[in-house]
Amino acid sequence: MTPGMEVRPAEPDRLPLRVLLVAAEPVVRLQLRRLVSGRPDLEVVGSARNDAELEALLAETRPAVLLVDARDARSGAAAVLRLAARQGLRGLSLLGEGAAPAGAALPCPADLAAEEPGGAFMQQLSGALRGAAGTAQPSRLAATRPSFRPELIAIGSSTGGPQALSELARALSRRRPSLPVLLTQHMPMTFTAMLADQLSRCGYPAVEAMEGMPLQPGRIHVAPGGFHLLVRRDGDRLACTLDDGPPENFCRPAVDPMLRAASRVAGGRVLAVILTGMGSDGLLGCQGLVAAGGVVLAQDEASSVVWGMPGAVARAGLCHAVLPLSAMADAVARLATGGPS
């Protein structure tokens, strides 16, 4: 057998998801094998250095999904994924930190040796692998903890967002949850004020956020272009804070800082909604929010212009539900009032 190729006998009746690793660097293959094999819900059935080695392994190992180190050009990620597609398989790409995922992809920590099978990254990776394999696509609202009573709603969107937000605002205007709403839409300065006006014309009051502005129930507070929208607690009320710090996920405003701040201030009492958008902004923020006890809804692929941002949180297994845009307002209204889901 060619050096670098490792095979385990295929056992089609095993319950764990069957994963085949593709990584050019031996140390990376070793660390990925250690991490993936250490989880009871995953099984490594083989590994290869590139597409040339992969072809001989596919029939022998019968994986459910490929895990590809796309950070190293020697792995030939594009060729690997094309080969997998011809075989009816899907793959998940590991990207360098800060890279914007396209398709099924996940940012990879710089030091895999520091990660553990039960850690946050591997929980995220497990959900992303199942999503890429097509085994983790929720289609209806799941059951919620009876005690979930959100204190605020946080919405993130990008490409296709203004149209989706207008539709959501029109639908929500008939229900008007009595909670303040934070909104980060990837949009430059001057356009965010126009967005707030557009949403108000759709029947849901909206305003471009200002420093120190109190959060009002039943109102959308839009992150202004050029600033991350954060939130702080002033006594018994919440207020907006604007941050002109570095861009995150190549954006300012960005969704991740908003979700981090909301989670710090309100703990698990946050309902996050991730709508259509390119990249993966919101993924890390949703991870922390869910860990704190919050709830995430994501727009489904069919109704999204670009299923990047909602797809990232869906594939990571962070979503309470993945819904068409037409069903989102009902779900938000029910969860916002603590009603049955």
Q: Using H for helix, E for strand and C for coil, what is the string for 307-318?
A: ECHHHHHHHCCC
Is there a catalytic annotation at residue 41? no
Residues facing residue 94 across a β-bridge:
69, 106
Residue 87 vs residues 64, 79, 107, 298: alpha-carbon distances, Å = 11, 13, 25, 29
Q: Which of 197, 214, 193 is nearest to 205 (CA)?
A: 197
Is there a catalytic annotation at residue 330? no
At 143, list the tokens: 């059951």
At 107, list the tokens: 């940012």
Displacement of CA 75 from its chain's centroid (Å): 25
- Of these residues, 281, 300, 303, 304, which one is catalytic? 281
Q: Which of 3, 51, 43 is nearest to 23 (CA)?
A: 51
- Of these residues, 47, 51, 126, 186, which one is catalytic? 186
- Of these residues, 93, 158, 263, 304, which one is catalytic? 158
Q: Whole-angstrom Cα distance, residue 339 to residue 341?
A: 6
Residue 330 vs residues 25, 83, 172, 191, 315: alpha-carbon distances, Å = 48, 41, 8, 28, 23
For the beta carbon of residue 290, count every other beta carbon within 10 angstroms: 22
At 166, list the tokens: 């207008």
Sign of CA dihedral 226, 230, 234, 238: positive
Is there a catalytic annotation at residue 281? yes
Annotated active-site positions, please? Answer: 158, 186, 281
